[in-house]
Amino acid sequence: MPHFIFRGTDAPGMAATRSEIRESHRSYIRTSSPECRVVAGGPLVNDAGDTMFGTMLILEATDRDAALQFLAGDPYSKAKLFAHTEVDRWQWGLGDLIKVP
């Protein structure tokens, strides 16, 4: 299956929202279906590493539509956390993919 990179940058003033729904987001991205699963990801942070300002995910999906449908169900997306998002198809070229049961 192809891979897709998602990058979302938080809207201004959304730190409290991010904090409030973070655990439901983390739980959601650990779900999978035959059409889509997250294989890597984490928060984007400032250089000091102490402030989150966005999210980056690598998804394995049957196609772009499956990736977009999965992302639309994320609690962060539902809460309109992001001011800007990007989804690009990505070809894995370096590093090992950790297989998750």
The model carries a pTM of 0.89
* pLDDT band of 98, cuts 50, 70, 90: low
pLDDT at 101: 44
Domains of the chain: residue spans and CATH: 3-90 (3.30.70.1060)
pLDDT at 96: 74
Answer for the pair 4, 67: CB distance below 8 angstroms, yes or no: yes
Residue 81: pLDDT over 90: yes
pLDDT at 97: 66
pLDDT digits (tens, 9 = 90+) for 21-56: 999 999 999 998 899 999 999 999 999 999 999 999
Give kind and range of the element (H or E) at residue 75.
helix 75-78
Q: What residues contact residue 67 under an 8 Å CB cut-off, 6+ apart? A: 4, 6, 36, 59, 61, 87
* pLDDT band of 91, cuts 50, 70, 90: confident
CA distance 51 to 48: 8
Q: Can you read off the two tokens belonging to residue 21?
A: 């729904």
pLDDT at 93: 78
Across 1-101, the runs of DSSP E, i.e. the strands, are 3-10, 36-45, 52-61, 82-90
Question: Backbone phi, then psi, for 43, in 5-degree steps?
Answer: -75, 150
Answer for the pair 41, 58: CB distance below 8 angstroms, yes or no: yes
